[in-house]
Structure 1
């Protein structure tokens, strides 16, 4: 998969491994207490667990809401 960046109407990062940039993206935009919002299926995956843990270790906080239906 190619790595891409979009900036309209908001910045979107897509591609393999880009979730590893989440804490840095939060810092750049001034987000101190991110909240990841997803459904229960994705919320139970290792990818989301790693993203939440990475944000918590780097930013001190990361919330998860995984009840989207």
Structure 2
């Protein structure tokens, strides 16, 4: 059974891959650069959600230490 965080991470990953594939067909190149940048950030959110889900499954808190 997948948690909501895990499903959200999976969805973000799939969206990032679709956006990266769209870079191949988007013209002009400036627009393709914006799509690539957005895909990077969507993928980054997906990784963060997957990490948060992993912490949640182990009953640990997410903490940022200096």
TM-score by length of 1: 0.30
The structure whose residues are more often strand, as a share, is: 1
Question: TM-score, normalised to structure 2's length?
Answer: 0.31
Which of the pair is proportionally richer in helix? 2
